[in-house]
Structure 1
Amino acid sequence: MADEKMEIGEVGTTLLSTEAKMPPARPPNKFERLIQPCLGELVGTTFFVFIGCVSVIENVESAGRLQPALVHGLAVAIMVACMDGISGSHFNPPFTLAIYLCGGMEMNMVAPYLACQLVGGVLGAAMAKAMTSRENFTKAHGAAFDLLQPGSEIGGALFGEVAMTCLVTIVVLLGAVNTKTRSPLVPFMVGCTVIINILAGGDVSGTCLNPARAFGPAIVSNYWTYHWVYWVGPITGGLLAAALVRLLLGDRKIRLILN
């Protein structure tokens, strides 16, 4: 009888429980750990660069910097929100380097991520060329960064790329990697930072902030004038942001000093 009561009690507890029993979490397989994240970076970077290039190639003159700023910022926010659970939504080599340096990813994924981002940049630029008219594509150099010409203030443009990339990378690191400041609003935060950077510095350097975004259009349109600025500036800015978080702004898990 005691056994019988125990069985009834156990059944009653199960039936009346308000919490659904979740099946044990299955560990990710090799595809989910290695291949799917790279595909996420490839697809995400492709569509980000595609949309960004089209917004520049087909930019209405009366809109000025507003059209590219909104398109790039909103595209970043949407792709980050969608792909975060798959790849972490980097889509930018300086982000990947900074996230690795702050302990947010394994070293064996850094090179594949960088390769997928650069290939995605080329694919996105090619898609933009296929969609837009030849006249508009040629006029905009395929949305390559043609703002800098001989006689331009190269020092100011380079500094702008460093500073603005540093800012957006700090937002990424503090919003997504640093435990103390991690926020579910990080897609919105990163998108808004991209928008304000382009609005503020678009006429100085073009506000690339992303070598993959510069590399794809440069390949497709064969336009390389001062292209190095859009590698040196963003990468330096990303590394500077990682140093600030690693040394001063990060929580005790990330911070290397003053613990």
Structure 2
Amino acid sequence: MPGPNEYFNVPLSRVAIGNHDEFRQPGAVKAAVAEFISTLIFVFAGSGSGIAYNKLTGNGPSSPPGLIAASIAHAFGLFVAVAVGANISGGHVNPAVTFGLFVGGNITLFRGILYIIAQLLGSVVACLLLSFTTGGLEIPAFALSGVSVWSAFVFEIVMTFGLVYTVYATAVDPKKGEIGVVAPIAIGFIVGANILAGGAFTGASMNPAVSFGPALVSFTWTHHWVYWAGPLVGGGLAGIVYEVFFINHSHEPLSEF
């Protein structure tokens, strides 16, 4: 009779720390560069669309047309960013995705830290480039609108849970089969849909790197912790739930998806 762990295995038991030598491995460095470029592409397109909309209309991004524009720009941008990085780094483009994969035993701690540093740098460089190319126009930072800080925290948890769950289902699960081909599209679509749902309340970050770049460049840190804590909790929960209930743990842990 199969033991209980054949059906129910705690992902944290599969967490791998790795070692600092990973910072110097050519494959890890290439993957970090890919994460930097993918995040730069995504943030430049997403934040740039908000700046362009403000310039053209004078309306805030939380207006109905602004939300639709932001949703489309982020969905398309993330689709491309994930697709171009998938074969090199896995196309995480998000510290919450990296963290969700870490708690599921799919990436080591040291490699995950390298990815997150690259993602944050990519976001900051994208915002600096936007500031320069637009003649110093304001880089809009994420902010709460009409909700309490705890409601915003839960909003970010739920939206990021949906994002990272989608990543697991379409890109990480070894049983994904042909659906893996549409993973970048599905990941982009869930982000676009979540922006329509939560953009008017929290800006729908779901990504600490996406929030960090604008906050640093504009030096706006109000409630910034929400945009770290919410996505990391949501991403971690998604990784644990999917690994516990849906992945067959007879396969070897993955270093990337």
In 1, Cα distance between equivalents of 2:109 and 2:152? 31
Q: Do residues 221 (structure 1) and 197 (structure 2) align?
A: no
- State the Cα RMSD in Å: 1.8
**2:81 aligns to what?**
79
> Over residues 35-85 of structure 1, what are the superposed CA-to-partner deviations in whole Å (9 max), with x where a residue is unaligned?
211100111111211111111112244722011110011111011111111
Partner of 2:71: 69
Q: Is 1:47 equivalent to 2:41 in the alignment?
A: yes
Contact 1:102 1:177 (8 Å CA) reproduced: no
Unaligned runs of 5+ in 2: 1-24, 252-257
**Partner secondary structure for residue 48 of structure 1:** helix
- Offset, 1:133: 4.2
Normalising by the residue count of structure 1, what TM-score does the alignment of the two structures yield? 0.79
Hey, what does 1:240 align to over in structure 2?
237
Provide the identity percentage: 32
Separation in structure 1 between the aligned mates of residue 248 and residue 172 of structure 2, nearest angstrom = 10
**In terms of mean alpha carbon deviation, does 172-181 or 236-245 score higher?**
172-181
Report the residue type matching 1:162 in the other structure: I
Q: 2:147 & 2:77 partners in 1: Cα distance? A: 30
Q: Which structure's relative contact order is higher, taking Cα pairs within 8 Å and 6+ residues apart?
A: 2
Deviates more, 1:243-252 or 1:111-120: 243-252
Task: Indicate if the aligned counterparts of 1:49 and 1:121 stay in contact, CA closer than 8 A.
Answer: yes
How far apart, in 1, do the equivalents of 2:47 and 2:130 lie? 6
Residue aligned with 1:91, SS? coil
Task: For 2:133 and 2:233, locate their aligned partners in 1 and report how far apart those are by CA, in whole Å.
Answer: 33
Q: Which residue of structure 2 aligns with residue 194 of structure 1?
A: 191
Preserved contact between residue 168 and residue 194 of structure 1 (Cα < 8 Å): yes
Which amino acid counterpart does residue 155 of structure 1 have in structure 2? W
2:50 and 2:66 in contact (8 A); partners too: no
Q: Return the alpha-carbon distance in structure 1 between the equivalents of residues 250 and 129 of structure 2.
A: 42
Aligned to 1:145: 142
| Structure label with greater radius of gyration | 1
Which letter maps to 2:208? Answer: P
Q: Is the 8 A contact 1:58 1:132 kept in 2?
A: no
